[in-house]
């Protein structure tokens, strides 16, 4: 495995932090997830009326495979001492508390590097480690709203609309993982660790790079919201999603005269390629009316013959049958700790043609506490004392 021999001690909760660290766990890093005695946030919120599978909430299943679970009450000095010992043994300490929390616990970067000068300290936050928003809560909906993503996702003149998933958490998680990998490369070359900071707000802006760069250069549009059918404020018609007589169809970028000819508009509607942006409301309305005349399969045959880029619009049930998803193995079934079969999403990267395996399903809270404390040289008797005192928890 690519990261075999790398130890990560993870103080992560919610989604962006755990998901980014899971990516590294998939690549073979040993990840020790530190959780409070009652479990981290994701064990108590699963969306869809706290839906559960395999004994855990679905949010826990999203981002916590291939990790060991250790329960520590970090309000107890004995637990903090254990956390410091683990950090001293680690290549990476990762956290996504609000800025300042790790320092208050005595587990901040400056403290941990005293015991481990080469440590990589990776912090994910809502808005960064400092600045006017440093004490604001950071969460996906807040980031979508504040960054303009909800605004540009809404249709022109309508209420701004959230993306239908935690897009910023997911994108931020990949930036978090990439930032840590960059620090690991530096450490391999120089022997020096360092601090890595990633924040949800900047991740939200990064996700909109194409839109933002287009907006802030040259003449600005009257509105950055989507026209009625066109997929974004900066795209030309007929780029977007339309209804056919039976299903929905997505039309991608293409030659406008060719696309008009394909829908039988020769002599009926005239528009040149250089008018695709200026006349986009008129053009998209025309396509919306025309595409309702035939079924998806009829249009698919016509568009394929002419080399026009298009797509079916899948719902989630369609995904389970999609041939490319089946080929890639993106949906993977594994056995949960309670014996139930659960479905997870595979790691999206292949190395040498192979997808990273799930070698440890999301674990029961505290399942590896004893194992990890044994590795630290803490005796069974001492563990019993710590358990009685409430400093640790065991699965």
Q: How many CB atoms lie within 10 A of CB 75?
A: 12
| Residue 343, beta-bridge partner list | 333
- Environment class of residue 256 by beta-carbon count within 10 Å: exposed (0-12), middle (13-18) or buried (19+)? buried
| Cα gap 144→232, rounded to integer Å | 16
| Cα gap 101→12, rounded to integer Å | 12
- Catalytic choice (26, 91, 140, 169): 169
| 169 carries an active-site annotation | yes
Report the chain's terminal Cα–Cα distance, integer Å. 28
Closest CA to 197 of 130, 135, 136, 129: 129
CB-CB contact of 52 with 46 (8 Å): yes
352: which 2 tokens?
């040498």
| Cα gap 144→171, rounded to integer Å | 12
Closest CA to 294 of 254, 242, 330: 242
| Residue 94, beta-bridge partner list | 10, 122
Pairing of strands 56-57, 92-95: unpaired
Closest CA to 17 of 166, 119, 208: 166
DSSP 128-174: -SSSTTTTS---HHHHHHHHTHHHHHSBTTS-----SS-HHHHHHHH
For residue 348, cis peptide bond before it (omega within 30 degrees of 0): no
CA 270 remoteness from chain centre: 43
CB-CB contact of 8 with 344 (8 Å): no
Phi/psi of residue 10, each to 5°?
-115, 120
| Cα gap 54→222, rounded to integer Å | 50
| Residue 126, beta-bridge partner list | none
Q: Which residues are catalytic?
A: 169
């Amino acid at each position: 495995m690519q990261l075999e021999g790398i130890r990560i001690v993870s103080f992560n909760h919610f989604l962006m932090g755990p998901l980014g660290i899971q990516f590294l766990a998939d690549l073979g890093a040993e990840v020790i997830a530190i959780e409070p005695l009652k479990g981290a946030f994701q064990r108590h919120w699963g969306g869809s009326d706290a839906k559960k599978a395999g004994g855990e909430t679905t949010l826990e299943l999203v981002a916590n495979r291939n990790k060991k679970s250790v329960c520590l009450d970090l309000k107890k000095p004995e637990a903090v001492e254990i956390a410091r010992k683990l950090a001293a043994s680690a290549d990476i300490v990762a956290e996504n508390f609000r800025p300042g929390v790790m320092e208050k616990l005595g587990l901040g970067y400056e403290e941990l590097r005293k015991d481990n000068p080469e440590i990589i300290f990776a912090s994910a936050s809502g808005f960064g480690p400092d600045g006017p928003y440093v004490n604001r809560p950071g969460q996906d909906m807040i980031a979508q709203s504040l960054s303009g993503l909800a605004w540009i996702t809404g249709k022109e003149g309508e209420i701004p609309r959230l993306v239908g998933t935690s897009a910023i958490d997911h994108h931020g998680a990949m930036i978090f993982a990439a930032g840590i990998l960059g620090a690991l490369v530096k450490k391999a070359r120089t022997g020096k660790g360092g601090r890595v900071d990633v924040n949800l707000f900047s991740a939200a802006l990064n996700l909109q790079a194409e839109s933002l760069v287009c907006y802030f250069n040259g003449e600005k549009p009257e509105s950055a919201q989507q026209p009625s059918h066109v997929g974004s404020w900066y795209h030309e018609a007929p780029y977007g999603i339309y209804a056919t007589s039976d299903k929905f169809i997505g039309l991608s970028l293409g030659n406008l005269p060719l696309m008009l000819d394909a829908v039988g508009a020769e002599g009926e509607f005239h528009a040149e390629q250089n008018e695709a942006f200026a006349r986009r409301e008129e053009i998209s309305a025309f396509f919306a009316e025309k595409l309702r005349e035939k079924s998806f399969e009829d249009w698919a045959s016509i568009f394929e013959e002419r080399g026009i880029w298009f797509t079916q619009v899948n719902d989630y049930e369609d995904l389970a049958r999609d041939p490319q998803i089946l080929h890639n193995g993106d949906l993977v079934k594994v056995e949960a700790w309670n014996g139930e079969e659960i479905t997870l999403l595979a790691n999206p990267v292949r190395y040498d043609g192979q997808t990273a395996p799930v070698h440890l399903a999301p674990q029961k809270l505290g399942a590896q506490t004893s194992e990890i404390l044994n590795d630290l040289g803490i005796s069974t008797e001492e563990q019993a004392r710590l358990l009685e005192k409430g400093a640790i928890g065991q699965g």
